[in-house]
Chains A and B, each alone.
Chain A
């Protein structure tokens, strides 16, 4: 009953929003602006032109990306998101200068419907599942409570300051401030992802920040819609507030219910469905991605697997680039209204409340965790709270009121500040504070086996003691998974292999390719001595080959280091596939034999054991098909395959390669 009441309110909001959209004919994604006067008078554009312009933007985005990767040094210092925004600013400035009207703006619709889902899907798909679920409690704690804390804190303190400060903002109601708080407090997964990818902090920290940024969407959505609907109601009674609170729970939970659907279209459908039902689309898509990953990977052939992952990365990369560029472009507009005190206090408050929030929450949650979150980690969590395009879109969606333009300006300033200042300084800070970084160890089969044994042991002990700990639930899920889900969802002949077996096979393959003549040495040193050889062969390949098309295609995707399973391998694989279609050459595709199952499940083992094998090849990789013919080619490939599918240890051998490459270039 309460929900129905609130739903009616929300429907009113939506229908009004839709009406506004309909009254701007010829509006197209990227060209329309909702609710802001003065900048939506674009002429009706024929469809072809519209598509043309979209493609132009995408090309611009890709060119920008390529440019950065060719420049080598810069990405190390300046995160890509900053550069893209600057490009956007440039372009926006140019357009403004030429046409003297505001350039096209990122429309909320385009953002939420087209640009955001691929990114979130990609993030969810490559989420390190096991780590995520182990830390889920903490992540939820930060996401839900932290966001609530920030929203209320920022909203209320801004309100108080404006009342006291006499900045001419007294007419703005409390609700408006709360609404503003709800959109500005949200940490943006896109921005966080793009910055944190380059700094390689320890996995726990990474997953905390990233997980939080993904999951706080539910809270943001609810609060935003809540305050917006309150704004439209003449009076707000306590019943309304209570109803709002219930909506909260429903939104978060509802997203989970919608979640288990399959593959791309389905995940997109799940996102849309949940958005239509006013649930949190982001949470739905993340859950969907995380759950369906196992089944997709097990059922689908290896090549399709590669394709799926490749496409995900590509899509999300394009989306992200577009978003940042648009952000830059949209900044150049007529709609700005400036107010020094308001903007600076908002900025200050955002930082302050986040810091306080993280401190308090961590103090509480550390009592319950096994691995305490250190102060340094806390600092990074607080500092890493970047705002991004979500705030931007939400602020445009607000119903028009006198101070809206001020809000827009402030939001843009906050976003720019967090992305530029925080984004650029976080890397030096991480090094300065000596935050624990990613481990760079070689995996060993022993470790894997012993870890598995310990997991079984712990489950057993938990059973003996009678407590329902982590292992209990993991096991229970595994049993359910094996008994029911897998039987229906995975083809018979494709039952996934144990992670132990996979790891073992990869290590063996690597060694077979690498050292045929080193018989009896310790395998550890064998694996390590592979590196210099590998590096030499890469250097050779690099210096020999300067073919263009391979270069372009790979560099576009090297940045989104295919986190978990792929290093440059996948892009090379894709190269091979492309080469297939061009010349029917089967080069060394035989080596991609079907023993490599990138599947995650094995019975009785803990949840998905993927490891982010991050290869951040900061320079371009120039590889051609000729490279494959050498014997060094496949070994490189396999080494990376090996690393790619190794489990629970983070491999950084390829990363050394990138350092080498960087150093080489500097010589």
Chain B
């Protein structure tokens, strides 16, 4: 393992990234090493195939959505900064941060975490989770355990529970509201990335 500083020097805009994401330099260096390890062909960027090559990820029911979340704008190349920015969502929330009035929320704030989760459902990016999108996710998660009708009724019920403005889809606000009792910080953080 190279020393942190030598690894950091390889990263183009390390300081800016540290500032933006809140990672420490040690973490950033570690992530860079991971980035390079994933990038087997040494292209300097990651492609979806590199992600698919991760064995355990391939077994995940929503692996394609996760990969899609990384390559959100449809491009096929993921550079290190974007990689890190996305992973920053999973840092535990810092409670001690002083709130400056005009600065934007940090990447790992609760709202941003929820937005990230939201986009896993909302594949067509229209700002709403339609019944169909919900069905797809349910199908992926529940696989062969349930019949199609059961899936549909579950999806219906989910929408019924959350949908306050009765447009038969779940907007981000409704999504956020339905998760207000869940400890998102606990559920969506990786200790490793403190």
Contact = CB atoms under 8 A, between A and B. Distances in A.
A456 B192 contact: no
A46 to B, nearest CB: 59
Interface in A519-566: 522-524
B187 A454 contact: yes
B182 interface: yes
The DSSP consensus for interface residues of chain A is: helix
B182 A504 contact: no
A447 B157 CA distance: 12
Interface in B160-194: 160-162, 164, 175, 178-179, 181-183, 185-193
Interface string A429-462: 0000000000101001111011111111111111
Contact of B60 (A463, A466, A504): A463
Contacts of A665: none
Interface in B35-83: 37-38, 51, 54, 56-57, 59-63, 66, 70
Contacts of A602: 145
Contact of A445 (B59, B157, B186, B189): B157
- In this complex, the interface size class of chain B, counting residues with CB under 8 Å from chain A, is 35 or more
Interface stretch (B5-13, B14-22, B98-106, B146-154): B146-154
A447 B117 CA distance: 13
A365 B154 CA distance: 40
A524 B160 CA distance: 9
A452 B164 CA distance: 22
Contacts of B56: 459, 463, 472, 475
A289 B26 CA distance: 43
A467 B193 CA distance: 10
Contacts of B111: none
Contacts, number: 141
Interface-central residue, A450, A466, A475, A501, by most chain B CB under 10 Å: A450
Contacts of A449: 137-138, 141, 154, 158
Contacts of A447: 178-179, 181-182
A371 interface: yes
A523 B161 contact: yes
A501 B66 contact: no
B34 A465 contact: yes
Contact of B63 (A460, A465, A649): A460
9 contacts: A371-B186, A446-B161, A446-B162, A454-B117, A461-B87, A464-B66, A465-B192, A523-B161, A649-B181
Interface of A: 368, 370-371, 439, 441, 444-447, 449-467, 469, 472, 475, 479, 495, 497-498, 500-501, 504, 507-508, 522-524, 602-604, 649
Interface of B: 31, 34, 37-38, 51, 54, 56-57, 59-63, 66, 70, 87, 90, 92, 117, 120-121, 137-138, 141-143, 145-146, 150, 153-154, 157-158, 160-162, 164, 175, 178-179, 181-183, 185-193
6 closest pairs, A vs B, by CB? Answer: A460-B66, A467-B192, A463-B57, A463-B56, A446-B178, A460-B60
